[in-house]
Amino acid sequence: MIMNAHKITGLVDIPLKSNEDDKLQMKSFEMALTEFIQYTSTPITIALQGEWGSGKTSLMNRLDEQLCQTGNAEFYSIWLNTWHFALMKNEENILIGIINALIEQVIEI
């Protein structure tokens, strides 16, 4: 008996950790944003927006490496995915969850 093998294909969304195989050519964005962050007075807010798979997490990993993982790092990174809290039933629980997550990461620093 011969079975028809169906090849299943899909998209893989594995963020880059460093400058490995930069198919989205994010290096210029990384360098510009790194320099902007280093030389801009605080407080500052930066929003990184894009479609699924557009390289947001890869860019964040690279910024973290450039700004926070060097021997003389002046910056600390805090990773918080606020959408994880979106399933909570009310706004108060969402806010408490986000604040607790921030506090936990600040304590680790």
Q: pLDDT (tens digit, 9 = 90+) per residue, 13-43?
A: 666 666 667 666 778 888 999 999 989 998 8
Kindly indicate the confidence band of residue 69, based on its pLDDT and cuts at 50, 70 and 90: confident
At residue 65, the 3 state secondary structure works out as helix
Asked whether 58 and 24 are in contact (CB, 8 A), the reply is yes
Kindly indicate the confidence band of residue 74, based on its pLDDT and cuts at 50, 70 and 90: confident
- The pLDDT of residue 107 is 92
Rounded to two decimals, the pTM is 0.68
Residue identified by tokens 């990384």 is 30
